[in-house]
Amino acid sequence: MSELPSLPMLPPSADAAVYRILDANLDRAREGLRIIEEWCRFGLNNSGQTEQLKHLRQTLAQWHAPELRLCRDTPGDPGTSLTHPQEAERTSVTAVLQANFCRVQEALRALEEYGKLYSSALAAGSKAMRYQVYALESAILGGHRQQRLAQALTYLVTSPCDRLVPTVEAALQGGIALVQYRDKHTDDSLRLELAQQLKDLCHRYGALFLINDRVDLALAVEADGVHLGQTDLPIATARQLLGSQRIIGRSTTNPDEMQRAIAEGADYIGVGPVYATPTKPDKAAAGLDYVRYAAEHATIPWYAIGGINTENLTAVIQAGAERVAVVRAIIDADNPTLIAQYFAAQTNHQRTFHTLPAPVG
């Protein structure tokens, strides 16, 4: 962690309005950093990031000179009564973190510019700190999604249906942890509307939300990532567009495709179709042998997918799958919540079984 310059005590060189701007933005940056720090401490248990954020807060406190505080005029500040509807609700921890990273970065930019009227050290220090915060944002938000991906054992891939949003919500209530919106034929305006609704819904339930194929839609609705087929964008291109924080998955049907996807930087892979499925009518079933291969060789999270239902789930799990992705078994179910609960219970049982310590003696 690079050291930021200390701020020397300099004589006042700006008027009261500039002092008030500096005072407000020092407070704003410290508050935002504290909110992020709390998640790193209690949510991620990351001592390194917690210490770095604490150091940044303490540095800002050192810069907060008494003459700046003395110019504070809270009763006369018109901004205290201004608000925005988006500030009234946060749909997920990710949304909280994103909002506060933006808050800190904007405050540091204001400190950098107005600091030039007060102290060159404050301006330079604010600029250096802003770049540190950019790096932290990438590490924390990217790591947060990756952590949730590692924990997500049940994955719903949607197919068009008349009651898509209520069906997805019912599945989320049953424990689905990851949802992919897949629709190849609806016009873009409706897809955008549905994607936004589904993203908000998933985040309300703490689930990850991905979009099939369409990087542009993923960016438009701030999805957690995309899932790409073998003939879609190269992973490197998608990563360049989406950045390092978002998740990129890749469909694979054989060991060569699996190894290539891993080498190209996929965050997870789909393994299948395990059984023949109308969702992929042009794909022959890869079978349980490919599931067994993935269980032995995959080095990133992977989901068995393709024709999996309540009747064959046990065989898929016995072949080595800890994570499964389903389509029709939930989308076409009379009770999506109940089916999702069954899948969640079975995969959680498998994860627990695999993580139990070996018996001694």
Query: What is the set of active-site residues?
Result: 182, 251, 280
Q: Which residues contact 354 (CB under 8 A, 6 or more apart)?
A: 322
The phi and psi torsions of 326 (rounded to 5 degrees) equal: -130, 155
| Residues 143, 157: Cα–Cα separation, whole Å | 23
Report the distance separating Cα 92 and Cα 237, nearest Å.
Answer: 28
- Note if the bond before 273 is cis, omega within 30 degrees: yes
Closest CA to 71 of 31, 124, 14, 128: 14
Distance CA 17, CA 325 (A): 57
Query: Measuring CA to CA, how many Å separate 71 from each of 34, 49, 75, 260, 268?
Result: 24, 33, 12, 60, 53
Question: Tokens standing for 46?
Answer: 């990351």
Q: How far apart are CA 122 and CA 152, in angstroms?
A: 44
Cα 251 → chain centroid: 20
How far from 103 is each of 25, 85, 96, 109, 195, CA to CA, in Å? 9, 16, 11, 10, 26
DSSP letter string over 264-316? Answer: HT-SEEEE--SS--TTSTTS---HHHHHHHHHHH--S-EEEESS--TTTHHHH
Task: Decide: 164 and 170 in contact? Cβ < 8 Å.
Answer: no
